[in-house]
Structures are given as structure tokens and as C-alpha cells.
């Protein structure tokens, strides 16, 4: 599991509005940092026979975007402005996730594989006490987990009370494009938003399912790819069966055919590709589009909710650009990967 450094958890020591705002902005940076690695793996699957694995990864990305929206709504509810249009939001790949304990997990950009899902994605999403279901044969300041960090933010918000929130809904994003969206106006709705983030990421101590919605928590969805099977109710389990035996990876196959995955480089940077080459040009264009997306999201979460429609269009463009790069369509046959770097001007 990912553990956050003590200096991140200590952001809440002051137990005031400034402390919560700092912690929530740190949460935005952490949530965002997981999306490029997930997308790189997703894009590498193209439109291939690996559709079940692609659907799983895409469902997680969609909820990570929901989490960013929920955190932004909480910040706005507290009268603060979430920041998305900054190069500091983009981490360096490969490297540790923002705020995480150095050396625990190096996260990079790599084509999809069982090893990547098992040793990186599942580690990112692992809850404090995961339920390990069977699979068919196939000091003063201690680090905290992501779930513990969110619970600490929740507790501080409860202490601050409703008086910490704007009297009128402030810059709240509501959209039919995302399920489980929460308009944050007080302690109760802020807690509802945080609980949604925790439940979707971790599930509960007794079930792999989200407390809201009908899907499994992210950790168990990725475990379906690692185990090659969908997670289902164990048909042999009864009312007294322990929680970790109530489910089993025995559902429909989740295949991951390496032959159908684009052979793109791991952890590319713009400098990976020769200056003036089609691959470099495609990479710069992708990064410009990606930076434009972050700027669009910043506007969306800072009083211009109508920009969300434009952001959705940019996301679709990013997907196609990435797949065209990975397939060699726009790179003169070179299998190139996008680098998710800050590029405010398309050179």
C-alpha cells in the first residue's frame, strides 16, 4: 500500500481551515498523479481483444476523475480555490507519488501487463486491510495510508463545523457525466464526498464492494486483471463464511494478450524522441493538449463549470492522439508513448 510521509499528515496539525485546504490540495496532486500511469496502460491496449482489462482500467480512471471533482468541490465549499493549471501538479515519471514515502513504490509510465497491475496499480489502491480472496489456479509522526489521510481530513472538517463553509454553494461542479457527484455546502456533504472517495478506492473491511454504487473498489478491480478472472460471490459460501471467503476470482475471464498490446517504451520523455522527428512532434502536441486539459479543468473548478464540456472533448482527443502514437499512425511507424509533461505552447 502507499504510505504518505509524516510531513503530509502533519499538514493537519493546525486543525484549521488553512490546514484542511493544504491537505486537500495535496490530495488533488496525489489523485491526479495516478491518472497518467493508468491512462498510459489503458491506451497501450488500443482497441484490441483485451477489452475486459481496458474496461476495468477505464472505470477506475473515471472514478479518479470523480475524486478530483469531489475534492475540488470541498475546497470550493471551504472558500478556497483548487489549483490545476500548474506544472507542479505533474509529477516526474518514474518516481514516487506526491507525498508518498520515498523508495516505497516507484510509479512510471509503462504498457499494460499483469506485473504492472499487480505490483504497481494494486499497491497504489491497496486498502489498510485488504480482503484476500481465493483465486482459481491461474514514532512521533508515522507514515499514514491514503485512506487514513482522508479520514484525518474528514475528522478535521467535522471539528471545524458548518461555519467553515460558504453560506451559498461556491463553484460547485455538478454533471450527469459522473455518478455519485456531491455538492459540498456543509460538514455532512463534505463527509459524504470523502466517504465516496475512500469507499471507491478501498471498499470496506467486510466486502470488496463500494458502499455507494454497485462496482468493486479499485484494488479488487485491478486484482481481476492480475488473477485473470472476474470476482464473483463464492457459490459455496454461507452466512457464517468469513469475509475473505465470501468472494472468489472465478467469473468470466479477463484476458491480457501481450501480442495485442502496443510495444511502446516505458517512461518516455519528450527528449526520448529525436528532435524534429514525427514522434517528437506528436509527443509535443499530446503534451500541449494535456496541458490544455489541466487549464480547462482549472477553469471548471474555479467558477466556469461550462468548461467541463470542453474538457470532455479534450479527453477524447487525448485518447485518440495517444493510440495513434502507440500504433505508429502519426509517428512514421515508430511505437511512441505520450509523456504527460507540461507544454503550455505547441512548438
Residue pLDDT, tens place only, 149-162? 999 999 999 999 99
Averaged pLDDT, 251-261 = 93
Averaged pLDDT, 221-238 = 94
Do 207 and 305 reside in the same domain of the chain? no
CATH number, domain of 110, equals: 1.20.1260.10
Q: Residue 90 pLDDT more than 80? A: yes
* pLDDT confidence of residue 136: 58
Percent of the chain with pLDDT over 70: 95
The H-or-E segment that residue 229 falls in is strand 229-233
How many CB atoms are located within 10 Å of the residue 244 CB?
14
Distance, CA of 323 to CA of 158 (rounded, Å): 45
Distance, CA of 65 to CA of 185 (rounded, Å): 20
Averaged pLDDT, 275-299 = 97
* Structure-block grid coordinates of residue 330: 502519426
Q: Residue 7 pLDDT more than 90? A: no
* pLDDT confidence of residue 139: 43
* pLDDT confidence of residue 85: 94
* pLDDT confidence of residue 315: 95
Do 273 and 250 reside in the same domain of the chain? no
Q: State pLDDT tens for residues 121-158.
A: 999 998 877 777 676 554 445 677 888 899 999 999 99
- Whole-number mean pLDDT of the chain? 90
Do 132 and 104 reside in the same domain of the chain? yes
End-of-domain residue from the set 260, 293, 314: 260
Query: Is the model more confident about 10 or about 25?
Result: 25
Q: Residue 65 pLDDT more than 70? A: yes
Helices (H) then strands (E): counts for the chain? 10, 4
Do 307 and 244 reside in the same domain of the chain? no
Contacts of 259 (CB under 8 A, 6+ apart): none
Domain range for 163 is: 3-260
Q: Residue 5 pLDDT more than 90? A: no
Do 288 and 235 reside in the same domain of the chain? no
Do 135 and 171 reside in the same domain of the chain? yes
> Residue holding cell 507514515?
143
End-of-domain residue from the set 260, 279, 301: 260
Closest of 101, 133, 320 to residue 242, by C-alpha: 133
Do residues 132 and 244 lie in contact, with contact meaning Cβ atoms separated by under 8 Å? yes
Secondary structure string (H, E, C) spanning 175-226: CCCCCCCCCCCCHHHHHHHHHHHHHHHHCCCCCCECCCCCCECHHHHHHHHH
* Structure-block grid coordinates of residue 217: 473498489
Q: In 3-state terms, what secondary structure has residue 287?
A: helix
Q: Residue 278 pLDDT more than 90? A: yes
Q: Residue 347 pLDDT more than 80? A: no
Bridge partners (DSSP) listed for residue 232: 248
* pLDDT confidence of residue 243: 85
Distance, CA of 159 to CA of 307 (rounded, Å): 34
Query: Among 65-69, 167-171, 262-266, which is the least confidently predicted range?
Result: 167-171
Do 42 and 167 reside in the same domain of the chain? yes
Do 44 and 105 reside in the same domain of the chain? yes
Q: Residue 101 pLDDT more than 70? A: yes
Number of domains forming the structure of the chain: 2
Do 256 and 268 reside in the same domain of the chain? no
Q: Residue 62 pLDDT more than 50? A: yes
Do 205 and 276 reside in the same domain of the chain? no
Do 252 and 344 reside in the same domain of the chain? no
Closest of 171, 176, 168, 218 to residue 71, by C-alpha: 171
> DSSP string spanning 7-65?
HHHGGGTT-SHHHHHHHHHHHHHHHHHHHHHHHHHHHHTTTSS-HHHHHHHHHHHHHHH
> Is pTM beyond 0.85 here?
yes
> 222: burial class by Cβ within 10 Å (0-12, 13-18, 19+)?
buried
End-of-domain residue from the set 260, 283, 307: 260
Q: State pLDDT tens for residues 168-219.
A: 899 999 877 788 899 999 999 999 999 999 888 876 667 787 766 678 999 9
99 band by pLDDT with thresholds 50, 70 and 90:
confident
* pLDDT confidence of residue 205: 64
Averaged pLDDT, 66-95 = 95
Do 316 and 230 reside in the same domain of the chain? no
Closest of 257, 281, 259, 298 to residue 334, by C-alpha: 281
Distance, CA of 37 to CA of 113 (rounded, Å): 12
* pLDDT confidence of residue 208: 85
* pLDDT confidence of residue 76: 96
Q: State pLDDT tens for residues 320-344.
A: 999 999 999 999 999 999 999 999 9
Amino acid at each position: 500500500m502507499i504510505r504518505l510521509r509524516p510531513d503530509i499528515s502533519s499538514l493537519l496539525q493546525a486543525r484549521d481551515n488553512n490546514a484542511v485546504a493544504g491537505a486537500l490540495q495535496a490530495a488533488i496532486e496525489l489523485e491526479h498523479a495516478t491518472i497518467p500511469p493508468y491512462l498510459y496502460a489503458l491506451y497501450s491496449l488500443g482497441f484490441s481483444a483485451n477489452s475486459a482489462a481496458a474496461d476495468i482500467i477505464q472505470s477506475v480512471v473515471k472514478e479518479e476523475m470523480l475524486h478530483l471533482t469531489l475534492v475540488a468541490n470541498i475546497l470550493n465549499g471551504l472558500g478556497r480555490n483548487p489549483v490545476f493549471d500548474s506544472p507542479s501538479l505533474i509529477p516526474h515519471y518514474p518516481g514516487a507519488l506526491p507525498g508518498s514515502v520515498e523508495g516505497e513504490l516507484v510509479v512510471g509510465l509503462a504498457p499494460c501487463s499483469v506485473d504492472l497491475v499487480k505490483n504497481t496499480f494494486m499497491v497504489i489502491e491497496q486498502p489498510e486491510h485488504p480482503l484476500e480472496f481465493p483465486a482459481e489456479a491461474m514514532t512521533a509522526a508515522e507514515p499514514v495510508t491514503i485512506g487514513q489521510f482522508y479520514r484525518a481530513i474528514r475528522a478535521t472538517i467535522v471539528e471545524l463545523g458548518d461555519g467553515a463553509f460558504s453560506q451559498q454553494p461556491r463553484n460547485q461542479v455538478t454533471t450527469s457525466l459522473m455518478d455519485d457527484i456531491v455538492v459540498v455546502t456543509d460538514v455532512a456533504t463534505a463527509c459524504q464526498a470523502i466517504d465516496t472517495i475512500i469507499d471507491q478506492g478501498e471498499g470496506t473491511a467486510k466486502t470488496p464492494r463500494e458502499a455507494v454504487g454497485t462496482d468493486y473498489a479499485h484494488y479488487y478491480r485491478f486484482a481481476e486483471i492480475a488473477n485473470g478472472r472476474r470476482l464473483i460471490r463464492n457459490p459455496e459460501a454461507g452466512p457464517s463464511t468469513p469475509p475473505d471467503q465470501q468472494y472468489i476470482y472465478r467469473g468470466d475471464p479477463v484476458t491480457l494478450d501481450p501480442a495485442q498490446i502496443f510495444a511502446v517504451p516505458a517512461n518516455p520523455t519528450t527528449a526520448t524522441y529525436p528532435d524534429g522527428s514525427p514522434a517528437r512532434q506528436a509527443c509535443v502536441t499530446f503534451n500541449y493538449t494535456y496541458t490544455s486539459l489541466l487549464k480547462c479543468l482549472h477553469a471548471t473548478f474555479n467558477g466556469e463549470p461550462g468548461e467541463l464540456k470542453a474538457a470532455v472533448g479534450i479527453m477524447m482527443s487525448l485518447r485518440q492522439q495517444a493510440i495513434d502514437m502507440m500504433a505508429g499512425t502519426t509517428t512514421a511507424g515508430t511505437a511512441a508513448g505520450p509523456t504527460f509533461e507540461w507544454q503550455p505552447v505547441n512548438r
